[in-house]
Amino acid sequence: MSKTVKYVGLDVHKNTVAVAVAEDGKRGEVREHGEITNTPTALTKLLGKLGGLGSSSTFCYEAGPCGYGIQRQVAAADHSCVVVAPSLIPSRPGDRIKTDRRDAVKLARLHRAGELTPVWIPDSAHEAMRDLVRARLAAVRSLRHARQQLSGFLLRHGHHYHRPAWTQMHRRWLSGLRFAEDAHHIVLEDCIATVDAAKERRDRLTVQIQKRLADWTLAPVVEALQALRGMAMVAAATIVAELGHISRFSKGEQLMSYLGLVPSEDSSGKRRRQGGITKAGNGAARRMLVEAAWSYRFPARISREQLLRQEQLAAPIRAIAWKAQERLCLQYRKLSRAGKPITTVTTAIARQLAGFVWAIAHEVSMPKA
């Protein structure tokens, strides 16, 4: 006798979880089950109520700020649980009523129909590394904001530094500035202290990422990606932390699409119209690829730093990295000569660079997720 399947939709919030159950079969009943508190104890009771002889349950909920704790608890209880992408959930244009109970029913129904798109779920160690990388990205944003505040303050008072900023010479120049009001000196010192604190925070987190790479299961992929031009430790660690097991993509085009680096399209009949990139998927990894793409505006060559990063890598990985340089540097000049905007050129290079990232990741022997 085969087991029946119950499809359970969870609308998860900080304090509560709305629950709905869809019975097996195309015309099976979809009902509200109620609401529970968002605690491990309440979830355990729910699992006990829904489980039973002759039936099994499969759960789903949207990816959000509450993380993967529910998924891990449900999976530990030998139930299936997927976390779905909120942006890819089908919706009816005329539906103007949204409640937690309706959302749970909708998730249960769509889960039964197989119309939900699951996201890749990292393990706890990978999630910790991703949080560390994201903390550094936040520190970089804070540093940029602090520097902009200081530059804006100086600009308002007519002080201009006509050489490269944020160097030791620039710091000495700041210490020699004079203002008519004493309060302005206090503001200057506060802005400088904020910049220094943000820079120390960024550097401290960079060191922590470097220290923890050795114990990370995906460290070989990070090392391999550093063979590429413009892909130092921080960029490679960010891409791997955000994407996880790149080997789960069967083709490089899938990775490009996942990163939102493919053109948007609005075509109908004989009319075909393409626009800017979709910007779907992971924004942090996409930005890292775009930043790395800028380095391909120079002629193809292997710098000393890149040579040191490649010394311990396998020959096929080094060959892919050199092939990327030859193709992308040539493509950059070709698109530039065609009069394309520099941002368009760099984005196109970043899209092709994603393909080489995929190729190198598949050369590294790693178990799939």
**DSSP secondary-structure letter at 115?**
-
Largest CA distance in the chain: 89
The CA distance from 268 to 273, in Å, is: 9
Bridge-based pairing state of the strands 4-12 and 55-62: parallel
Beta bridge partners of 274: 265
Q: What is the DSSP letter of 129?
A: H
Nearest CA to 171 out of 140, 143, 187, 193 is that of 193
Phi, psi of 222 (to 5 degrees): -60, -45
Which DSSP string do the residues of 24-66 spell out, in sequence order? SSTT--EEEEEEEESSHHHHHHHHHHH-BTTEEEEEEEE--TT
H runs (alpha helix) in the chain: 40-50, 69-76, 100-113, 124-156, 168-175, 182-212, 219-225, 233-243, 252-258, 283-293, 304-310, 315-337, 342-363
Per-residue pLDDT of the chain (369 residues; tens, 9 = 90+): 467 889 999 999 999 999 999 998 878 899 999 999 999 999 999 999 887 656 789 999 999 999 999 999 999 999 999 999 998 999 888 888 899 999 999 999 999 999 999 999 999 999 999 999 999 999 999 999 999 999 999 999 999 999 999 999 999 999 999 999 999 999 999 999 999 999 999 999 999 999 999 899 999 999 999 999 999 999 999 999 999 999 899 999 999 999 999 998 888 888 888 888 989 889 999 999 999 999 999 999 999 999 999 999 999 999 999 999 999 999 999 999 999 999 999 999 999 999 999 999 999 965 554
For residue 54, the model assigns a pLDDT of 64
First and final C-alpha spacing in the chain: 32
The pLDDT of residue 135 is: 97
How many CB atoms neighbour CB 18 within 10 A? 23
- Residue (of 250, 275, 273, 272) closest to 264 by Cα position: 275
**How far is Cα 128 from Cα 274, in angstroms, rounded to an integer?**
39
**Phi, psi angle pair for 100, to nearest 5°:** -65, -40
CA–CA separation, 260 and 246 (whole Å):
15
Token pair in block for residue 113: 């129909």
Is residue 46 packed enough to be buried (19+ CB in 10 Å), middle (13-18) or exposed (0-12)? buried
Which pLDDT does position 1 carry in this prediction?
45
Question: What is the b/e burial string over 235-268, where b = at least 16 CB atoms within 10 angstroms of the residue's CB?
Answer: bbbbbbbbbbbbbebeebeebbbbbbbbeeeeee
Quote the pLDDT of residue 366: 59
